Amino acid sequence: MTDQAQLDAVLAHVDAGLDQSLDRLFHLLRIKSISTDPAFAAECQKAADWLATELNGLGFNASARPTPGHSVVVAHGPDQAGPHVLFYAHYDVQPVDPLNLWNSDPFDPQIREDASGRKIIVARGASDDKGQMLTFIEACRAYKAVTGSLPVKVSLMLEGEEESGGKNLPPFMRDNAEELKADIALVCDTDMWDRQTPSITTMLRGLVADEIVVTAADKDLHSGMFGNAARNPNQVVAEIIASLRAPDGSVTLPGFYDDVAEISPELKAQWQGLGFDEKAFLGSVDLSVPAGEQGRSVLEMLWSRPTCEINGMSGGYTGDGFKTVIPAKASAKISFRLVSGMDPKKIRAAFRAHVEKMIPADCSVEFIPHGGSPAITVPADGEFLRKALSGLSAEWGKQAVITGSGGSIPVAGEFKSILGLDTLLIGFAHVDDQIHSPNEKYDLDSFHRGIRSWVHVLAALSK
Amino acid sequence: MTDQAQLDAVLAHVDAGLDQSLDRLFHLLRIKSISTDPAFAAECQKAADWLATELNGLGFNASARPTPGHSVVVAHGPDQAGPHVLFYAHYDVQPVDPLNLWNSDPFDPQIREDASGRKIIVARGASDDKGQMLTFIEACRAYKAVTGSLPVKVSLMLEGEEESGGKNLPPFMRDNAEELKADIALVCDTDMWDRQTPSITTMLRGLVADEIVVTAADKDLHSGMFGNAARNPNQVVAEIIASLRAPDGSVTLPGFYDDVAEISPELKAQWQGLGFDEKAFLGSVDLSVPAGEQGRSVLEMLWSRPTCEINGMSGGYTGDGFKTVIPAKASAKISFRLVSGMDPKKIRAAFRAHVEKMIPADCSVEFIPHGGSPAITVPADGEFLRKALSGLSAEWGKQAVITGSGGSIPVAGEFKSILGLDTLLIGFAHVDDQIHSPNEKYDLDSFHRGIRSWVHVLAALSK
C-alpha cells in the first residue's frame, strides 16, 4: 500500500466504525468521574481502570498508576521510527450542579439534534475531556486495526485531577520523568477556531486559584441582637471582592500588570484577521457588553490579558425564606488567569497581602490554595507545529490557524518545565459546548472528524 | 384566703409542678415546627393542635385557626373583672443548620449544666420562643389548679410564622379584630436585663428584609473561556453589598438617617446608668471592637440606631474543591433594622433604587421581599406598665428596669395599628441563649421563675 492508500484505508475504517467508537465513548461518559468531590473517588478509579484495559487491548503497555489522589493512566506503544509523541488528556469531569438545569441525566449520554439540526453528544464530559480524549485513542485503534501498528511511537498520560487543582500530577511527572521522555507532547483539550477551521493553540493562560474563609464571631449571631455591633463576615468578604476590580474593569492588585506585555503588532494584526465577532460571542450567552478592561478587544481580554474572577461566594443563610443571622464565617473562591510573563507565586502573594490588609479587627482569614500554573506560549515556528497544521488542514480542507486561549492547561507548562517538552494543543471542541455548565455537549462532527484529524496528524508527524 | 395567701399557694404549686411543666415543654420542643421550610408544615400544624388541646384542657375556648400559611392558635378564658389581656407568643422555630455545630439533636431537648454549673434546657426553640411561651401558659395552669380561675380575663394568640416573615398574621388580625379586642397585649419574646434583673422592653426596632437575585448570562460559564469578557454576578452582588456601609460603619443609603431622632438626654442617662459592659457583651462571642457607627455606644447601636446586615449571600460553586465557573446568578439576603420614625416602605424603596442604580449593562435584578415592620416605642408612663413592673420586682426582689431591644417583634406594631393596643414586652431570655444559632438554650431558672413572674404580673394587673 502507498502511504496515501494506507491513510485512506485507516480513514475508511474510522468512518465504518463510528458507531462502535460512540459505544465506547458512551461507556466512559456513564462513569461519574467527578474528581473534586471525594464521594466519587471510586468512579474516578473505574474510569482509569477502563482506559488502561482498553489501551492494553490496543497493544499498549498500559496501567493505572496510583498517586496520593486519583490515578494516572500511563501507556506506551511499541518502538517506531520517527518522533515519539506523548499524548495527554484527562478522564475526570466537573461537578454537575445545578442539576435541575440539565435537560437529561448528565451521566446518561444521548445523541440529540440541536436547534440548527446538528447532531450533538450530550453528557457531562462529552467535550471536556472524555470526547476529546477518545478522538486520539480511536485514531490509534483504527491504525492498529488496518496496519497492525502506529505510524510513530506513541505514549499516553491520562490524568484524573485536571478539574480539581491537579496537585498530584507534577510530582508524578517528576518521579517518572525518565519513563515519560518523548519528543513532543500532544494535548487534546482545546477548541477549533470555528466549525470549518481547525486550530492549534499556542498561547494559554495560567491560573492561580485561592479560597478565602473569613471568620468573625465564634458562632452565628442573631442580627437583631448583635447587628451594628458585631462584625459581619459577609460584609468583609464582599468588600474584598468589590476591591479587586476597578470601575474600568481592570484588576486592582498592586503590581498585577507589571509583567504583562502587550502583544506584538504582528499577532494583533493576525487576530484582527480572524474576523472574531464580539457581538455574536457575547450574544451566544445573552450578553452584549464586554466587562473587562475598557479599550481592549474581547480577544485580548480572553487571550492576552489576565483576569480576576469570583467563582463562588457563600455566607450565612442561603436556603429558601429568610433567617436574620450574622454568620460566623463567609468565604469566596477566587481565581486569576495569568498571561505570559506573570509569576503565579507573585500573584498569589500579592492577592493574599491585599486580603490581609482588608481584614478588620476581630476577623481572621484562612487561605486555601487550589492550584497555580504559569501561562505558556508555544514557539510558533517549530517543525512539529508545521506538520501538525498540515495534517489538520488535510482533514478539514482549510488552512488550520494558530490561536490563543483564555483557558488554562497547567500540564502544558509542566511538560516544558519538568520534561523539557513543547506541546501541541489540538482540539475539536466549540465555544458553545457548555463545558462546566449544564447540558455539556460535543458535536458528533467534532468526535468523528476529530478521530480522522488525529489519523492525519499522526501520518504528518511520521514523515 | 387572702390575696397574698392565694398568691403564695399558686407559687407553691408552680414550684411543686416544675417537672410536669418541663415534661410539657419537652413535648413541644420535640415538634420540629420550622416555619420557613415547607417540608415542616405538618410539624407546625402539630404544634398548633397540641397548644389548642392543652389550652382547652385549662378551660380556655381554644382552636387552631387556618390561614393561607401556618395556623394561628386563638384561646379565650372566661370573663373576669379587671383588665382583659391578650397574650402573644410564637410556636415556630428557626432552621437548625449548621447541624454539625450542635452538641446534641436540636429536637431532643436535654437539661444540662453549663460551664458555670447553671442548669440549661438545650433545644431549638427552648428560648425562642417555646420556653418563653410556656412560662405564661404554665402560670395560667397553676392559677386554674389552685383557684379554679384566672385573676384577669385572658386571651391568647399564638402564631406560627414569626421566624418566616409572618405575612399571614396581620390580615388574620384585621379579619378577627372584633374578637381579639382587649385592654393590653402581653408579649413574651424578649430578654431580662441580666440574670438578677427583670426588664420590660419599651423600644423595639422594626425590620425590612429583601432578597436580591442578580442575573447576567443565560447560563453558567467557564471562567477561562469567558472571564474578563462576561459580567460576573458575584462581583456585582459583592459591589452592591460593599456599597451599603461606609468605612465609618454608617449605612450609605440616601436618606437612611433622615427620620432617625437622637434619643433624649434622660434616656441616654438611664441607659448609661444600666452599667452595660460593652467588652463583656462582645467578648461573649469572641469579638472586641464595635463594628457600627463610630462614636456611638454599643447600646445605641443595638437599640436606637438602624442597621444594614447581610444575612446571606451565595453565588457560583460553593462546595468542596474548586470549579472555574462564572455563575449565571448570584444573590444576597439583606435586612435593615429600623428605629422609631423610620418608614419601612421608604427604606425598602431607597434600597431598591440604590441597587437598581448599581446593576450594570447585561444584568437584571429580581427583588424578593421578606417582610417589613416599623419600630415601636411603648409609652413609658402607663398604668399597666407600672403594675407589671411591680409584679416583676416582687418575684425577683429587685427593681425591674425599662430597656430597649435590638430585635424586631413586628406583632407589637400590629397590636397598635390594627387593634389599638399597647404592648408590654416581658421576657426571661438571656443574651447568651444562642437563639437562631446552634445549641440554643433557655436557663432552667428563666423557665421556672418566668412562670412565677407571670403569676405575680397577672396578680398585679388584677388590682
Interface mutation target, options B307, B309, B355, B425, chain A, most CBs of A under 10 Å: B309
- Whether residue A143 contacts residue A462, with contact meaning beta carbons closer than 8 Å, is answered with no
- In chain A, domain spans: 3-204+375-461, 206-260+306-372
Residue of B nearest to A431 (CA): B225
DSSP code of residue A251: B
Query: Residue A37's closest chain B neighbor by CA?
Result: B320
Sheet strands (E) in B349-462 = 364-373, 376-377, 401-405, 423-426, 441-443
Q: Which residues in chain B are contacts of A288 at CB distance < 8 A? A: 361-362
A185/B181 Cα distance (integer angstroms) = 84
Q: Is A362 on the interface with B (CB under 8 A)?
A: yes
Across the interface, do A407 and B222 touch by the CB < 8 Å criterion? yes
d(CA B53, CA A276): 73
| CATH architecture group of domain A206-260+306-372 | 2-Layer Sandwich (3.30)
State the angle between helix axes of B18-29 and B3-16 in degrees (0 to 180), rounded to the nearest 10: 60
Closest CA to B172 of B85, B54, B42, B63: B63
* Peptide bond between residue B433 and the one before it cis (omega within 30 degrees of 0): no
Interface membership of B341 toward A (CB under 8 Å)? no
**C-alpha grid cell, residue B234:** 458575584
Closest chain A C-alpha to B362 CA, distance in angstroms? 5
Integer Cα distance of A212 and B176 in angstroms: 52
Cβ atoms within 10 Å of B59's Cβ, excluding its own: 16
DSSP assignment letter at A408: -
DSSP conformation letters of A34-86 = BTTSGGGHHHHHHHHHHHHHHHHHTT-EEEEE--SSS-EEEEEPPP-SSPEEE
Domain range B3-204+375-462, CATH architecture: 3-Layer(aba) Sandwich (3.40)
Tell me which residue of B227, B225, B246 sits closest to B235, measured CA to CA: B227
Return the pLDDT at B2. Answer: 82
Note whether B435 contacts A222, CB cutoff 8 Å: yes
Ramachandran category for residue B177: left, alpha or beta (phi over 0 → left; psi -120 to 50 → alpha): alpha
Write out the three cell numbers for B299: 447600646
Cβ of A360 within 8 Å of Cβ of B289? The answer is yes
What ipTM was reported for this prediction?
A: 0.77
CATH of domain A3-204+375-461: 3.40.630.10
Which of B90, B310, B335 to mutate to test binding with chain A, by most A CBs within 10 Å of its CB? Answer: B310
- Spatial separation of the C-alpha atoms in residues B36 and A410, rounded to whole Å: 45
**CB count in 10 Å sphere of residue A108:** 12
- Put simply, whether B71 touches A (Cβ < 8 Å) is no
pLDDT at residue A144, as a whole number: 97
CB B312 to CB A310 under 8 A? no
**Residue bearing the bigger pLDDT, B445 or A3:** B445
pLDDT tens series, chain B, 463 aa:
788 999 999 999 999 999 999 999 999 999 999 999 999 999 999 999 999 999 999 999 999 999 999 999 999 999 998 899 999 999 999 999 889 889 999 999 999 999 899 999 999 999 999 999 999 999 999 999 999 999 999 999 999 999 987 789 999 999 999 999 999 999 999 999 999 999 999 888 899 999 999 999 999 998 888 999 999 999 999 999 999 999 999 999 999 999 999 988 888 888 888 889 999 999 999 999 999 999 999 999 998 999 999 999 999 999 888 888 999 999 999 999 999 899 999 999 999 999 999 999 999 999 999 878 888 887 766 899 999 999 999 999 999 988 888 777 888 889 988 999 999 999 999 988 999 889 999 999 999 999 999 999 999 999 9
How is residue B375 written as a grid cell?
A: 419600630
Q: Is residue B47 helix, strand or coil?
A: helix
Q: What's B431's DSSP letter?
A: G
Q: pLDDT category, A410, cuts 50, 70, 90?
A: confident
Q: What proportion of chain A, given as a percentage, has pLDDT over 70? A: 99
Residue-level pLDDT at B380 = 64
- Neighbouring residues of A236: CB distance < 8 A, sequence distance ≥ 6: A214, A216, A330, A358, A359, A360, A363
User: Which of A235, A333, A370 is the closest to B310 by Cβ?
Assistant: A235
Same fold, B3-204+375-462 and B206-260+306-372: no
Q: How far apart are CA A106 and CA A148, in angstroms?
A: 36
Nearest to B322 among A36, A218, A326 (CB): A36
Beta strands in B152-283 (DSSP E): 153-159, 184-187, 199-204, 206-215, 221-222
Could you tell me the CA-to-CA distances from A393 to A65, A446, B38, B288 in Å, in that order? Answer: 36, 15, 59, 68
**B452 grid coordinates:** 412565677
Residue A380 has pLDDT above 80, yes or no: no
d(CA B261, CA B278): 23
Q: Write phi, then psi, for B279 (nearest 5 degrees).
A: -60, -45
**Alpha-carbon radius of gyration of chain A:** 23
Out of B209, B238, B285, closest to residue A221 by CB: B285
Which secondary structure element, helix H or strand E, spans residue A215, and what is its range?
strand A206-215
The interface residues of chain B toward chain A in range 102-161, judged by CB-CB distance below 8 A, are none
The grid coordinates listed for A1 are 500500500
Q: Indicate yes or no: CB of B234 within 8 angstroms of CB of A312.
A: yes
> Which of A65-69, A175-179, B429-433 is predicted with the least confidence, judged by mean pLDDT?
B429-433
User: Taking CB atoms and an 8 Å cutoff, what residues of chain A touch B101?
Assistant: 219
